[in-house]
Chains A and B, each alone.
Chain A
Amino acid sequence: MSKTGHWSLRAKRIAIGAALYLGAVVLGLGSAWWVLKKAPWLNPSVEVGPWRANMHAGNQDAGMYTRATVAVNALLALDRDETMYFVATRDDAGHALRAQCNYRISGVPPQARWWSITAYAEDLFLFDAPNGRYSLNGANAVLDAAGAFTLSTGPTEQPGLYWLPTPGQRPLILTLRLYNPAPALQAAPQSLVAPTVQKIGGCP
């Protein structure tokens, strides 16, 4: 083999090697992004109905994945002694929540000093609600004779129900926040009487 051919082969090998290592780095970074952003609730520590929570969120004993997941999806979360966060991305039937569908969410006020249910789009920011309502909470929830609250989310207001508009066609995420949860609930988060999430009618 001529000297030029030798160097050409060597350069080709180096280029292929560099491309492979670059691909490996991209694979590593991509898999991290997928785990943290696309599948953040893969490993919840608690599941109650359609609601999931990681009880180590915000805590100093959180593992590397929990810490990163919380930083990406719920930055500045409080420790569970102060606040518990439950997230729903599916309804009671297990179907992914979508902004263009109407949902009825019912439950009893959780055992906490204060609570709220907020609707977020998949970018984890609030919907541009035309009525300026972003959450149902312990202050504005109207309880029925059985002591239960009901709200709706979706593109259409439901008669008689507190409505959180979710304009657009995109995934929907519900967050249940419990500020100063009762000690019994902190000790046994799975004892939460979880609000139900049911789809109303059809869905475009």
Chain B
Amino acid sequence: MKNFSEHQRLWFYRVLSLLVTALLAHLLAVWAAPRLIMHVLMHGPTAQKMNMHNQAAFPEAVTAKSRTVVMPSPDMLYSVCAFDLHDGPVRVQAAPVLTNYWSIALYAANSDNFFVRNDRQNHGRAVDLWLVAASPNKAQKPVPAGSDVVVSPSMTGFLLMRVLTTDYLAEKAVVEPARRTLHCSQG
């Protein structure tokens, strides 16, 4: 920089600061995107309409009109719950009686899939999970001894239950009651 004039040095630092600003904006956008998308998913207009805060909700079967979450699988019947651990553990229960695949997946506020349990892993038993925070509030109630505990990396998150249905209309009488065994409640 010794050979540059003061005017040139000034422009060098100006351009450098612009590049750093662009880089920071880029990194911030990439970091924030999954968190913002999850926030809208859990608290946006659709979530509020479905009333899924710490309780299960049951969207309609996937069709071409399903435009809430990208790449919906037309072969899965979805059930959802936006969990919030600020006021204590959340209990997740389900007892689907099905021969086909089903699973319950949990997603952190940054969109990571931190837990999944499917029908085979559950060996035909009913699901009874206690979802607790990794850093619980002091006032948080303890879960009953011997509970099946899942630690969430974030205070809020999303539960997605998938039930395989290759012909919804033909299987409706079986898959609808099965998915409606899902309960999500403040413990």
Contact = CB atoms under 8 A, between A and B. Distances in A.
A58 B75 contact: no
A88 interface: no
A76 B116 contact: no
B160 A28 contact: no
A82 B106 CA distance: 13
Interface majority SS on B: helix, strand, loop or mixed?
Answer: mixed
B70 interface: yes
A78 B107 CA distance: 9
A125 B30 contact: no
Contact of A29 (B26, B38, B64, B74): B26
Interface residues of B, number: 50
Interface string B17-48: 01101111111111101100110010000000
Contacts, number: 153
A48 interface: no
B160 A76 contact: yes
Interface size on A, as a range, is: 35 or more
A25 B71 contact: no
A192 B37 CA distance: 32
A180 interface: yes
B21 A72 contact: no
Contact of A71 (B25, B34, B153): B34
A118 B74 contact: yes
Nearest to A126: B64
Interface of A: 17, 20-21, 23-25, 27-29, 31-33, 35-36, 58-60, 62, 64-65, 67-68, 70-79, 81-82, 113-114, 116, 118, 120, 123-129, 132, 134-135, 137, 139-140, 175, 177, 179-180
Given A78-B105, A114-B164, A126-B63, 12 more contacts: A21-B21, A27-B25, A58-B112, A60-B153, A71-B38, A75-B69, A76-B105, A76-B158, A82-B103, A126-B64, A128-B64, A177-B73
Interface of B: 14, 18-19, 21-31, 33-34, 37-38, 41, 62-64, 66-67, 69-75, 101, 103, 105, 107-108, 110-114, 116, 118, 120, 153, 158, 160, 164, 166-167
The 7 lowest CB-CB distance pairs between A and B, nearest first, are A28-B25, A71-B34, A32-B29, A134-B74, A124-B70, A28-B26, A139-B166
